[in-house]
Amino acid sequence: MIVGQHQRHFVALLREHRGIVFKVAGLYSRSVADREDLVQEIGTQLWRSFGRYDAARGKFSTWMYRIALNVAISQARRWREADRLEPLEMHHLETVGGGESIREQDERLAALHAFIGQLDALNRALILLYLEDRSYAEMAEILGISETNVATKLGRIKQKLRGQMAGAATTGA
């Protein structure tokens, strides 16, 4: 395939699955500037690796999640080590929610992001895949763990969430 065609093919696939890049970047960055950096970084790495992408070996979205999460987790680590990573809080939602104030959005999203903000980078990846409605098999393939492990971890996360909600209700009451 000549370079122009190759690039057009890549751009078409990227356009089709652009939400993956955007959501991953939104979940691991804390500001609009960070998110933009991360989007570009993920896009660059996707293009760099695209020459070796083999459709026969797996879905494009699976391949894309792997690269996007790997880039985002690595970048988030660098930010953290430079003391730049803050917990995912209200201001972060503005980057995910397209600039609108969180108060204008569903309050469930606020609770969701507050919860995700407490998770480490790997559990954050797991919850993102769950929220994106990926199958256990695909989550396992993306993360590199067994399906049983995926199920166990999601069970724990649900339990933790219930505990927090119960705690919040008690405090609220």
Partner 1 sequence: MELDEMKRAWAHMDLRQDGMEALLRQGFRDRRMDKARGAMRWSLLGQAVEIACWVAFVVFVASFWVVHRQVTHLLLVGLLLHAYGIAGIWSGATQLFLLSRIYLFDAPVLVLQRRLAQLRRFRMVSTLALGLPWWFLWLLVPLVVLTWWSGVDLFAGAPGWIWACMAVGVAGTGFSLWLARRLAGRAMWSPWLQRVVDDMSGRTLARVSRQLDEIARFERD
Least distance between partner 1 and beta carbon 85 (Å): 13
- Min dist CB 115 to partner 1, Å, is 8
Q: Which is nearer to partner 1, 77 or 87 (CB)?
A: 77
Measured distance CA(39)–CA(37) in Å, rounded = 6
Q: How far is it, in rounded angstroms, from Cα 143 to Cα 30? A: 23
In a 3-state reduction of DSSP, which class is residue 119?
Answer: coil
CB of 59 to partner 1, least distance (A): 13
| End-to-end alpha carbon distance in the chain | 64
Interacting residues of 159 by C-beta distance below 8 A, sequence separation 6+: none
Count helices and strands in the chain by DSSP H and E runs: 9, 0
The dihedral through the CA atoms of 96, 102, 105, 110 has a sign that is positive
Tell me the DSSP string of 63-85: HHHHHHHHHHHHHHHHHHHTT--
Q: Which residues bind partner 1 (CB under 8 A)?
A: 7, 11, 14-15, 18-19, 21-23, 25-26, 36, 39-40, 43-45, 47-49, 52-53, 63, 66-67, 69-71, 73-74, 77, 81, 96-100, 105-106, 108-109, 111-112, 115, 120, 122-123, 125, 130-133, 141-145, 149, 152-154, 157-158, 161-162, 165
Cβ 170 to partner 1 shortest distance, Å:
15
Residue nearer to partner 1 on the CB measure, 40 or 118: 40
Task: Write down the least CB distance from residue 23 to partner 1, Å.
Answer: 7
